[in-house]
Copies of this chain bind each other. A is one copy, B any other.
Amino acid sequence: MNPSGPTQPSDEHDPSRHNLDPHLDRYAARTAGMTASEIRALFAVASRPEVVSLAGGMPNLTALPLESLAAQMSDLIREEGLTGLQYGSAQGVPTLREQICEIMALEGISAHPDDVVVTVGSQMGLDMVTRLFCDPGDVVLAEGPSYVGAIGSFTAYQAEIEHVAMDDDGLVPENLREALARTEREGKRVKFLYTIPNFHNPAGVTLAVNRRSEILEICRQHGVLVIEDNPYGLLDFNGNIYPALRASDPDNVIYLGSFSKTFASGLRVGWVLAPHAVREKLVLAAESATLCPPTLNQLVVSRYLSSHDWMGQIKTFRENYRERRDAILGALEQHMPPGCSWTHPSGGFYVWLTVPEGVDAKAMLPRAVTARVAYASGTGFYANAEGSSQMRLSYCYPTPERLREGVRRLAGVLESEIELVHTFGTVHARTSSGPETPSPDTA
């Protein structure tokens, strides 16, 4: 292309240019944990239509009644436009907070709207709670694996994350006791247990009901708060609703809720239910973070709840997701090579797959994408080096047919990897800089 022969790459196209950051010595210490996700470039490839992405956590919204939402939205602007387009209170719209209490009542929670703070998705709730409680070096206990976005928030406030292992019934009380004893022996200060009791992201398991009071009791005994993150609670495939941890311990549990998985993630409406004294500080923290959550979005959710059969809509969502869960579990059963194991979710979005020893799921990802299937490598769900033989498969978004095709492709890639392991031993060191953290829910 260049008739005068090869030239030096221009500064514009030199990838190392991005590392020449003149502001490098100015950043706060907390930015040390922030590194650009190497997977971003990969996701650009993974989002091509020919790739079956089992990587993202985007809810499937095709069942939403768009025509009726459109009419409702225009009524809202006509009737309440000057309110919806104006600043509101930092705590959120009162009517919506009342409706949120009605929703939480389904999980046995008795709460006052005064103690609810509306947030920009429950991610903001998580960030605000961490802001309130975590000094640098404080310890947060979290299931291992845990939600990527939670790890991001804890890291942003320089908290140390200690993982507590789960089994098929969720968090293991004995492991929690040991983790608390260990951190106490080390003289560290544990600020809270962060837990996703229902249809865990990414593990796909649910905390057994008979473990719930034991876990609450352990945390109370050790003076450790519980942060209960429950975005998937109403998405049980049999329509069960588990009792919230908050229901039986109002003073020691902060509950995070969200409309992202039961209505629409793009509205970014979530909430925090906190003990009264904490709630006051939470409102001040939220005010300094965003002044107030978007008023329009709160009114949209409030109208939707009062005028739509929102429980019927959730039932439709659940049926869609159950069909997909059945498809992916069936395909895993049919195609996965020996030595693989996986969880069997009864709700929510995710299956957690463990591959045979020697196979590095993170190193394998580029090859999977070449074979037109993507997943989220397990390492992103740990704050330490764990998770390299695991991956999260999301079944929420693709059609059942695409899910089956994706699993078939993944099985093919895994078979080649396992063959390599058998021939050459472990293959995890083959790529030195494989893709890392997935984007929390959005990729």
Instruction: From A278-286, A324-332, A378-386, give the one contacting chain B.
Output: A278-286
CA distance A157 to B288 in the complex (A): 10
Interface of A is mostly: helix
A292's contact among B18, B71, B275, B442, by CB below 8 Å, is which?
B442
* Alpha-carbon distance A157/B156, docked complex (angstroms): 12
Contact of A28 among B35, B135, B290, B300 (CB under 8 A): B135
Q: Are A81 and B70 in contact (CB under 8 A)?
A: yes
Complex CA gap A191/B25 in Å reads 10
**Interface segment, one of A59-67, A198-206, A362-370, A414-422:** A59-67
**Is the CB–CB distance between A28 and B131 below 8 Å?**
yes
Number of copies: 2
The answer to whether B61 and A30 touch across the interface, beta carbons within 8 angstroms, is: no
The answer, among B149, B156, B295, for a CB contact under 8 Å with A291, is B149
Total interface residues on A, CB under 8 Å, equals 93
Quick check: A69 and B77 within 8 Å, CB to CB?
yes
The one of B66, B85, B277 in contact with A82, judged by C-beta atoms closer than 8 angstroms, is B66
Besides A59-B86, A121-B291, 20 other A-B contacts (C-beta < 8 A): A22-B251, A27-B132, A28-B132, A28-B135, A58-B86, A66-B78, A70-B78, A70-B81, A88-B266, A123-B290, A152-B284, A156-B288, A268-B290, A268-B291, A287-B440, A289-B289, A290-B290, A291-B441, A294-B294, A296-B296
CB-CB nearest 7 A-B residue pairs: A21-B277, A266-B295, A85-B264, A152-B288, A70-B77, A74-B74, A87-B442
> Could you pull out 27 A-B pairs where Cβ atoms are within 8 angstroms?
A18-B280, A22-B275, A23-B225, A27-B133, A28-B133, A34-B281, A58-B86, A61-B81, A61-B85, A66-B82, A69-B85, A70-B78, A73-B74, A73-B77, A85-B266, A86-B265, A87-B260, A88-B442, A120-B293, A120-B294, A152-B284, A152-B287, A266-B294, A268-B292, A268-B295, A296-B300, A297-B297
